[in-house]
Amino acid sequence: MLEIRHLTKVYDDGTVALKDVSFTVQDGEFLVIIGLSGSGKSTLLRCINRLINPTEGEILWDGVDVAKLEGEELRKVRRRIGMVFQHFNLVKRSSVMTNVLSGRLGYAATSSSVFGRFSPADREKARQALTRLGILDQAHKRASELSGGQQQRVGIARALMQDPKMILADEPVASLDPVLAHSILQHLENLNKVDNITVLCSLHYLDLVQRYASRVIGLRAGEIVYEGDKADIMSIT
């Protein structure tokens, strides 16, 4: 279970991106975060695995306050949280395989020196992830040669290398056309339903929210203005 309590983020320039945000996510939920550009969705997701540090508040993951962890303790938690980004964040000149394997390290691998660190078991796991995402045949291409939809599948395969208990997806389909958006969200839905991976995902389009969310949080100017069932979201837009 993830409990966010009184989370506030003030950036160095004084921008208040999150204001006293509190909510709870049960294991196995597909929670969608909606809100206009600038409402704090990305800041919220990035605080949860400490890509950025919250200013105040608690991020309790199975009772441990992620906001207070440092060093090895923090790395341990991060290793179980997969992250999927709007612009994929792949190392474009590296192969698909290297990009996926880098998920094992929890940071982006950039050079061939990293390649030697992976065991045959890691490579087999990467092949399985690529197979599951339907792109094993692309494994030896450079990431830059792939289409946007394929690159996002690589991003998800990379996240799977972490055996994630939770995936944080920051506008994962905002750069994709509607057909590809559905295909990516169906992969996330499959991981959620079949593997019971908790998914926190920010989305723009309400039809996608209706289709995939098990619950919805609405942010406006850094504050929660809606929390509940997707059936009611039309009333807040």
Q: Which residues bind ligand ADP (CB under 6 A)?
A: 11, 13, 15, 17, 35, 37-43, 93-95, 97-98, 111-112, 115
State in angstroms the smallest separation of the CB of 59 from ligand ADP.
Answer: 16
State in angstroms the smallest separation of the CB of 73 from ligand ADP.
Answer: 25
**Beta-bridge partners for 142:** 95
State in angstroms the smallest separation of the CB of 233 from ligand ADP.
Answer: 16
Sheet holding 2-10, edge to edge: 16-25, 2-10, 56-61, 64-65
Residue 76 belongs to what H/E stretch? helix 71-78
CA distances, 150 to each of 88, 108, 145 (Å): 10, 18, 10
Residue 60 or 221 with smaller CB distance to ligand ADP: 221
Beta strand 56-61 pairing with 64-65: antiparallel
Smallest CA-to-CA distance from 110 within 78, 143, 138 is with 143
Residue 35 or 164 with smaller CB distance to ligand ADP: 35
Residue 102 or 198 with smaller CB distance to ligand ADP: 102
Residue 97 or 181 with smaller CB distance to ligand ADP: 97
State in angstroms the smallest separation of the CB of 99 from ligand ADP.
Answer: 8
Residue 41 or 78 with smaller CB distance to ligand ADP: 41
C-alpha span between 114 and 117 (Å, rounded): 6
